[in-house]
Amino acid sequence: MAEFSIPELEDMANRLRLHVVEMTYAASSGHPGGSLSAAELMSVLYFRIMRHNPSDPQWAGRDRFVLSKGHVAPVLYAALAEAGYFPTEELLSLRALGSRLQGHPVRGKLPGVEMSTGSLGQGLSMACGIALAGKMDGADYRTYCLLGDGELQSGQNWEAAMFAHQYGLSNLVAIVDRNRLQITGNTEEAIGLDPLPEKWRAFGWNVIIANGHNVRQLIEALEKAGRSKKDPTVIIMNTIKGKGVSFMENNAGFHGRACNEKEYEQAVKELTDVIQ
């Protein structure tokens, strides 16, 4: 795909946000908060960094993306549609009976979806398997895995982290959406994760910290991760849950709730005003 410029990537992130708001409103359900916090990342991955081909979704040479926090499927679907995997009009069928756009991604149902996810804590293990297969096959694709920060409270992630270091999965990049909010509130009040960078380093990973809403920083972080030749890399991206919609920002109440009519109108206006 054509490589987007910085301004184009910033604009695409807000387009993805608008899709998320429209999709979840149409469905009267879904998870907008964590979708909005990951918009810049998805823009950078699908329109700048990842090697993929919408006209051939199963192309063997493609990079792989695993959405471990599967409940933020709306932002993945929005990125896939904007990239050309299916018509953007189909986005409004989110969670409808018989729709290809289920509440959590389903492999084989929608082009571009690599793994069925949603049971939190399992995506990194899947990504390890994909990355190990690439190593064993001598393939040069990279595997990216987006994790929620609250999801890291699940122990299976750390088993996967040990595995990735043990087998030298330098072709694996984990990305943590560090927005510090989960469905019950602040992550540190549930099961504290700090000091998070030190935890990952202790498990043998390269650690990069970035502003998850700064497109340039994300590009630099992902390009640096791509140069790793020995160990897996984790990018801890500091973000704001609900980013881009004023009343959703840092509001755990929108972890799993769609806008009502009045909120929807305000959210659409705020996002439309910043889209070029």
Residue 189 tokens read as 């009040």
Domains of the chain, earliest start first: 6-274 (3.40.50.970)
Q: What is the 3-state secondary structure (H, E, C) of 211-234?
A: ECCCHHHHHHHHHHHHCCCCCCEE
Give per-residue pLDDT as tens, 26-56: 999 999 999 999 999 999 999 999 999 999 9
- Say if CB 47 and CB 8 are below 8 A apart: yes
* Long-range CB contacts for residues 187-196, cutoff 8 Å, separation at least 24: 187/149, 187/150, 187/153, 190/150, 190/153, 191/153, 193/149, 193/152, 193/153, 196/149, 196/152, 196/236
Numbers of helices and strands, H then E, in the chain: 10, 7
Instruction: Return the closest-CA partner of residue 95 out of 24, 170, 39, 192.
Output: 24
Residues near 133 by Cβ (< 8 Å), separated by ≥ 6? 139
pLDDT tens digits, residue range 253-273? 999 999 999 999 999 999 999
What residues pair up with 207 in beta bridges, in sequence order? 234
The rounded percent of the chain whose pLDDT value lies above 70 is 99
pLDDT given at position 276 = 82
Is the pLDDT at 2 greater than 70? The verdict is no
Asked if residues 146 and 164 have their Cβ atoms less than 8 Å apart, the reply is: no
- Across the range 119-132, mean pLDDT stands at 97
pTM for the model stands at 0.97
